[in-house]
Structures are given as C-alpha cells and as structure tokens.
Amino acid sequence: MTVGPQHELIETFANPRPERDYLITHTCHEFTSVCPKTGQPDFATINIEYVADGECLELKALKFYLQSFRNKGIFYEAVTNQILDDLVQASRPRRMTVIGNFNVRGGFSSVIRADYDSKESPR
C-alpha cells in the first residue's frame, strides 16, 4: 500500500465573484479509504460546502486530492477533519463545511460533519 493523502495536489483558481458571498458545494460520491484497524476498505460520500474568499477549489485537482486517500488507513472522525483542515489551508475560504457520509459497517452507518468559519476564533 502506498502512503496517504497529498494536500499538495489541491489547486485553486481566482474566485470570479469575490465581492459576493455565494455558496459552492461539491459532492464526491466515490470516496474510499482504508480502516486502520482491520485493513478493510471504507466507502463514503464526501460533501464539501464553502463560501470562497479569493480562491475557489479547482474540481479536477480536488478529485485527485481525495483519491490520494484511496490506500490510506484512517478513521472516520480523523479523515473528515483532515479534509477540512487541508482545504481550509489551501483555499482560505470565508467558511467551509465537510460532511463524510460513511457506508454501513456491522449494521451501522456514520456521518461526520465539521465546520470552519474564518470569523470565529477556535474554541
């Protein structure tokens, strides 16, 4: 198995309408990573919702970034937070939410939701 997520794959382009707060949502229906405990693959839908400031996320690069988790062992809670942190770091949005919606395992489905707001100080 190769090593995991490569945040340097994220690319941005100049926001075409920075004077307006508008909402951009990209939903990746085909996310897969690996359970660090069992080595078994996990599958999820990843929802990324943000208000851009100067930069927008380039969609093809975003796809390659999420694909870099394909053979990475990582828990649900960690992967959702890491995607949010990497994307905030790379694109400096006004606000962003990442939601990981993970497939059924042992009769349980799981959803992790993490939010970032540039106007709030961390807890």
Q: CA 58, 60, 61: angle at the middle one, nearest 5?
A: 65
- Of the candidate residues 6, 7, 61, 81, the single one contacting its own copies (CB under 8 A): 81
Q: Taking a C-beta distance cutoff of 8 angstroms, is the pair 79, 100 a contact?
A: yes
Name which of 7 and 70 has its Cβ closer to its own copies: 70
Kindly state whether residue 109 participates in binding its own copies, applying the rule CB under 8 A: yes
Calculated CA dihedral for residues 64, 42, 104, 75, nearest 10 degrees: -100
Q: How far is CA 84 from the centre of its chain?
A: 5
Residue 43 has, within 13 A of its CA and on its CB side, a CA count of 5
Instruction: Give the Cα separation of 40 and 51 in Å (integer).
Output: 35
**Contacts with its own copies, 19-58, as mask; x by CB under 8 A:** xxxxxxxxxxxx-x-------xx-x--------x---x--
- Of the candidate residues 5, 33, 62, 96, the single one contacting its own copies (CB under 8 A): 62
- Of the candidate residues 6, 9, 11, 70, the single one contacting its own copies (CB under 8 A): 70
Interface residues with its own copies (CB under 8 A)? 1, 15-17, 19-30, 32, 40-41, 43, 52, 56, 59-60, 62-63, 67, 70-71, 75-78, 80-81, 103-115, 122-123
